[in-house]
Amino acid sequence: MLRLSLLVVVVSAATSARAQVDGGAPPDGGGPADVSTEEIDKALKNDVAAQKAKAQPGQTAPAAPDAATAAPGMASGQPTSGSGFGAAMGRIFTSLNPDISAIVDFAAGWFQDDDGTIKSGDDPQSTGFKAQEIELALQAVVDPYFRADIFLTIPDLQGIEVEEAFLTTTNLPANLQIKAGIFRAGLGRQNAQHLHLQDFTRRPTLNAQLLGVDGLRAPGLEVNWLVPRLPFYLVLSGSAFSVGPANADVPLQTFGGGARWDFAYVGTARAFFPLSETTSLYAGLNYAHGKTSQRVSANDALPSTVDGLTLYDNYYDNLYGADLYLKWKPANQSRTYASVAWQTEYFLRDIPDVVVGGSKHRQLEGGLYSQVVVQAHRRWYFGLRGELMGIPSGDNIKREYAGAGSITWALSEFSRVRLYGELRYGPRFLPLDATPHPARLAAAAFLQLEAAIGAHGAHPF
Amino acid sequence: MRALAAALLLLVGVGRADAKVHVVTSIETFADLARRVGGDRVDVKPLSHGYMDPHFVEPKPSLVLDLNRADLLVHVGLELEIGWLPPLILASRNERIQPGQPGNLDASARIPVLDVPTTKVDRSMGDIHAAGNPHYWIPPENALVIAREIADRLKAIDGAGTEVYTANLKRFEDELAHRRGEWEKRAASVKGVKVVTYHKSWSYVSKWLGLVEIGYVEPKPGIPAPPSHIASLIGFMRREGAKLILMESFYPRNTVDLVAQKAGAKTLVMPSDVGATSDIKDYFGLVDAVIAKLTTP
Ligand SMILES: [Zn+2]
């Protein structure tokens, strides 16, 4: 029985799909072999020596494979042998349990400016060894009407959080689907993605600067619709969220302000175009509307006002965004295992009438990131990311430039090691301080280890 | 907003105009079997192609459109497509093909499955198929099981075509019986021949034709073989006199060629699905090509 999984439970590095190779066409050049001739020659010598030693007590070479002479993975060494209906039925009974999996992300490294750097909730939170995130996923079909996905997470060993817990309908008519619970809004591309789908150790600061440390993630309801009878894939969605007020002393949060009935409303359109068998384009347009939220822990600091709320709190605002994902990957990869993916997102926040210094003015602020990830070998991925914040800049989002690089070594489908480095040029983030600060250069570097256990997840596109 | 609502009503209101049964299959071989059984009454589309690795198909959203229109989805099961198909089925918003529905056919259900783990397994063994070996569709007796299952589902979905499906299935059975004898005669010479395969994807063919698998280039799926494994494999092949290495075109060739060269063996790039090469257009062509590869000196 197949299990559905809307959100993914596994490391996003994989050996993968293919391009047509005519039967037996020899690889001219081709990709590097997993092992070198020298290594084999050396190992062969050892093997011959071992065989000789084994043959000493008067035994001749075995005529048939047996466990004593076969290496692991030889026919007799396989942990498999049963067959037939009985064995096949077993899997059907056991599959009534939800699919359970866990993902751990450990990181070790350093922020040059620990306190002045804006971080996402699942970034390494400071210099040192970090349990960046421990995630537990439970996923199952509920009944013929719903499936359920529950993701519990412990970020930075700071208590257990419900990262997501939602139901998805499976039988609505007219290509409609409803998602209800607490979940990451499909606003742009990376907002909806968990940490283990990121190609870099930490997220770009775009969503943390605009939407809060965890991006737009809140209890809510989404209705989405796969538009029928189009020659391409187009999904429209509308959702409403009860976003909680911002934590104290973090950047102005686009949503979460006002009263309890001031929802954040999100509308998105996502389209997919297979430009060719190897090249695909996935693009989204995003819009959200709600009320700003910002709090500070000390009332006397500027620009805070009474009750820990700031000048910018509780204004209607709009968020406009666009995201683009372009991927090239040969359908039959065996010669090179190469792929290239380019991803970029832009958000613009419009607060139409902020009152600053007694007069109304409109505040437009935005930022973007753009990243390229190249798979250069079956197990090696290289990523480059640029961030440009403050286009346009304003009281809350300052002009900032950042560049990051990552090298990912995927040991298997289920574990990977990643080296990450970044350089950031812009003012320090100091929420309680209204005086302008000069731009400074700040570096950060991390070594990350990620592993997934349990149910086999699926990769989303 | 009003325009959107109007568009929605219009699009929803339009019924399914064509009367054909839409069948979507995860691999091309199943598409051919569905066409044989379904004939003119079905419209068949495979989600992947024979030259792709069926474990790792790119889950492109465009595939959602095919699944959205499907009346019947035929997939391999046994977790072969676990890395890509389940999210697409959910995203299809198509109730007919959700797991447990008549329109969702796990073609492995009546296959006598090989290589089912009998001891506790874990992923130190690699990305293993914990439910048993899913590479079962080439031997004729399994193809027949699959074709019968497809016929049963088509009859359940499209009762008006029952006689057509029965007749088409009968025709397939007859031709298969005829060809099977021919194939087995042609392949008689490979009985007892010792082979090494890249992935453990030839168990069913080996069992059918009497090949003796003595080892695997990739002992742990998805994990690079250490030099010590390759070396002992080469040594073992030399001692056993294994002269053939079987692999699919979508696996990396270099290590295999190294092993072949050192062990004095020949690498056979085997088609494992219809469409593996452009000249393999249907199931019969696939089995013909497999046997031709094995028996060409
Ligand atoms: Zn396999």
Q: Which residue of B has its CA nearest to A14?
A: B56
Statement: residue B117 has pLDDT above 60: yes
Residues B102-112 have a mean pLDDT of 96
Q: Which of B12, B213, B227 sits opposite A174 (nearest CB)?
A: B12
- Centroid of chain to Cα B75: 8
Chain A: give the shortest CA distance to residue B255, in Å: 5
End-to-end CA distance of chain B: 69
Contact B32, B274 (CB under 8 A): yes
Statement: residue A82 has pLDDT above 80: no
Q: Is A194 on the interface with B (CB under 8 A)?
A: no
Chain A: give the shortest CA distance to residue B41, in Å: 21
Q: State the distance from the centre of ligand 1 to the C-alpha of B53, rounded, in angstroms.
A: 9
Name the residue with higher pLDDT: A432 or B269: B269
How high is the pLDDT of residue B18?
63
The ranges assigned to domains in chain A are 102-454
Please judge whether B235 and A17 are an interchain contact, meaning their C-beta atoms are less than 8 angstroms apart.
no
Please judge whether B98 and A171 are an interchain contact, meaning their C-beta atoms are less than 8 angstroms apart.
yes
Percent of chain A at pLDDT above 70? 78
Residues B21-31 have a mean pLDDT of 98
pLDDT band at A461 (very low <50, low <70, confident <90, very high): confident
Residues B156-180 have a mean pLDDT of 96
Please judge whether A226 and B230 are an interchain contact, meaning their C-beta atoms are less than 8 angstroms apart.
no
> What six digits make up the tokens of A319?
């968020």
Nearest one of A139, A135, A285, A275 to B90, comparing CA atoms: A139
Nearest one of A450, A446, A451 to A129, comparing CA atoms: A446
How high is the pLDDT of residue A222?
98
Q: Which residue of A has its CA nearest to B50?
A: A20
Q: What is the CATH number of domain A102-454?
A: 2.40.160.10
Please judge whether A176 and B119 are an interchain contact, meaning their C-beta atoms are less than 8 angstroms apart.
no
Statement: residue B25 has pLDDT above 60: yes
How high is the pLDDT of residue B141?
96
> What six digits make up the tokens of A118?
């804006």
Please judge whether B230 and A24 are an interchain contact, meaning their C-beta atoms are less than 8 angstroms apart.
no
Chain A: give the shortest CA distance to residue B46, in Å: 14
Q: State the distance from the centre of ligand 1 to the C-alpha of B201, rounded, in angstroms.
A: 6
Statement: residue A30 has pLDDT above 50: no
Please judge whether A65 and B112 are an interchain contact, meaning their C-beta atoms are less than 8 angstroms apart.
no
Q: Which of A172, A411, A458 sits opposite B93 (nearest CB)?
A: A172
Angle value at C-alpha B275, between B269 and B278, nearest 5 degrees: 85
pTM metric for this prediction: 0.85
- For A325, the enclosing helix (H) or strand (E) is strand A316-328
Statement: residue A14 has pLDDT above 70: no
Chain B: give the shortest CA distance to residue A203, in Å: 24
Please judge whether A2 and B60 are an interchain contact, meaning their C-beta atoms are less than 8 angstroms apart.
no
pLDDT band at A305 (very low <50, low <70, confident <90, very high): low
Q: Which residue of A has its CA nearest to B269?
A: A24
Cα–Cα distance measured from residue A303 to residue A252, given in angstroms and rounded to the nearest whole number = 12
Give chain B positions within 8 Å (CB) of A35. 224-227, 230, 255, 258
Please judge whether B277 and A42 are an interchain contact, meaning their C-beta atoms are less than 8 angstroms apart.
no
pLDDT band at A33 (very low <50, low <70, confident <90, very high): low
C-alpha distances (whole Å) from B244 to each of A44, A411, B53, B153, B263 are 19, 29, 21, 40, 10
Cα–Cα distance measured from residue B65 to residue A424, given in angstroms and rounded to the nearest whole number = 42
Please judge whether A21 and B219 are an interchain contact, meaning their C-beta atoms are less than 8 angstroms apart.
no
Contact A101, B135 (CB under 8 A): no
Cα–Cα distance measured from residue A440 to residue A301, given in angstroms and rounded to the nearest whole number = 23
ipTM over 0.90: no
Residues A290-298 have a mean pLDDT of 88
Position of tokens 């063996």? B265
Q: State the distance from the centre of ligand 1 to the C-alpha of B132, rounded, in angstroms.
A: 9
